[in-house]
Chains A and B, each alone.
Chain A
């Protein structure tokens, strides 16, 4: 294992920042130059160390849609700490458990963000920014390529997400593959409306800064026109979003009358966008390329990407593996399948992570045997293009966020008046997938349905609640998921 300052991913990224490496907060107009970004990353690193944190200590970083959380995240990594990323919006409810699970020594939040949950856990709280420091005042913490760089949460909405152990080598390998894949230049600027605690958001930020480009954060996508105007105002070249984002652009924005002619590429991952959506968006910015992509936090971020010039022939496919990854499709017994046959996608290569933090059993299930078992069903065509057929039956993906049916069913079954519940997924124009719930009720049907709808968390989209006399079950008493899907 070779230990050097050069392996520290934040250090490598910082060395590559240039005159185009701005970080912008579109909501306030605050713009940091490349030099300021570099000084602030070192300022954060120095500040964290002065606060008594030591190499390998975990620090929870509350991620919002502004430059500050990126600076805190990279500063912590630069100092040799292990940042644990979490979406600012979910921390109020899951901060407690995440702190315990990550055994973090400290929490960083942006100025003005409340974190009562941290206070009662007795961990150090660090709020707001540090003063910038000169580039030569602190070297990046030496580390090996295999060393843990960051703990990334899987995209679970409620409950506690698993924490994926991402190494410095994983980050370099995936970032460089993305740069080659998207042919990113040194003058790029990404519009980011996702926090960096989501691996897709992180990958866009990493790849753009790594190439000496910049990132514009915009927290105002509830008013999509503002984001479209900001794309033009700041000269953004990349726009990234999950399917729900593109559906909002198509249905709930004035994209038809606000041309975004400076864009060079749209990036889409996090589930399937209908082919018509891809075509429509492409029509609004004919000079921009549209990248349909596939990835997982467990593989750092990106796994495959459809070359934009093959969009015409391969629309609906998630493309070819990144150039440093190997993909295989296997059956239930782990036997490799030929082209055209559907099975589970498995991945191997330098951006596949080593496992989940503090969870050897789940690690073995997902990463055992040298292949990442994605849990996605797909087939490959004769040209090697990957076509995703669906997720393994355990999860629903609403607005790009994965929630297990078990979690949904547990929550619904706990509602008074509900005897038993089974959940399945159904297609939904805006959320991607929505819940279809089947309930065996104790109370009158109409009362239970109303109670259930009220009790569901706001971030779960529910298409239907139906009261049934009994749930479809398999021989060993498990819910028969395939049958349920047919009923929805």
Chain B
């Protein structure tokens, strides 16, 4: 989980040009000015390439804070791994 969080934070940091230490599990769009509608799309793209997953519309809607983003990514990764077995 910690490794995943670090990668999520790195994606935030590169997408929004902010210090990754400023990001916590509770961070929401209202804490990060650049996390607007277009920012959300770009964040999703950098997460997709960092984790090699792809999000559908419902995933995007669920990604309301960092914790939810980690949860969505984790469930995507679980599916990918499940498919490989």
Contact = CB atoms under 8 A, between A and B. Distances in A.
B78 interface: no
B40 A454 contact: no
B38 A89 contact: no
Interface string B30-60: 1001111111111000000000000001101
A92 B31 CA distance: 13
B36 A252 contact: no
Nearest to A254: B57
Contact of A458 (B15, B37, B57, B60): B15
Contacts of B35: 222
Contacts of A92: 33
Interface in A185-217: 193
A163 B14 CA distance: 32
A245 interface: yes
A457 B39 CA distance: 12
Nearest to A456: B17
B19 interface: no
A244 B38 contact: yes
Contact of B37 (A248, A457, A461): A248
A219 B39 CA distance: 13
Interface in A147-162: none
Contact of A431 (B15, B38, B40, B58): B38
B29 A222 contact: yes
A482 B73 CA distance: 44
A248 B29 CA distance: 17
A20 B57 CA distance: 34
Contacts of A89: 33-34, 36
Interface residues of B, number: 21
A221 B14 contact: no
Contact of B60 (A252, A399, A431, A461): A252
Contacts of B40: 222-223
A287 interface: no
Interface string A356-367: 000000000000
A481 to B, nearest CB: 26
Given A223-B61, A254-B57, A458 B29 contact: no
A226 B38 CA distance: 15
Interface in A408-455: 430-431, 454
Most buried by B among A223, A430, A461: A223
A77 B33 CA distance: 28
A223 B60 contact: yes
Contacts of A399: 38
Contacts of A254: 57-58, 61
A459 interface: yes
Contacts of B29: 220, 222
A244 B17 CA distance: 21
A289 interface: no
A488 B69 CA distance: 35
A253 interface: yes
B14 A224 contact: no
A234 to B, nearest CB: 19
Interface of B: 14-17, 29-30, 33-42, 57-58, 60-61, 64
30 contacts: A92-B33, A193-B37, A220-B29, A221-B37, A222-B29, A222-B35, A222-B37, A222-B39, A223-B60, A223-B61, A223-B64, A224-B61, A225-B57, A225-B61, A244-B37, A244-B38, A245-B37, A248-B37, A252-B41, A252-B60, A253-B57, A254-B58, A254-B61, A399-B38, A430-B41, A454-B14, A457-B17, A459-B38, A461-B38, A461-B42
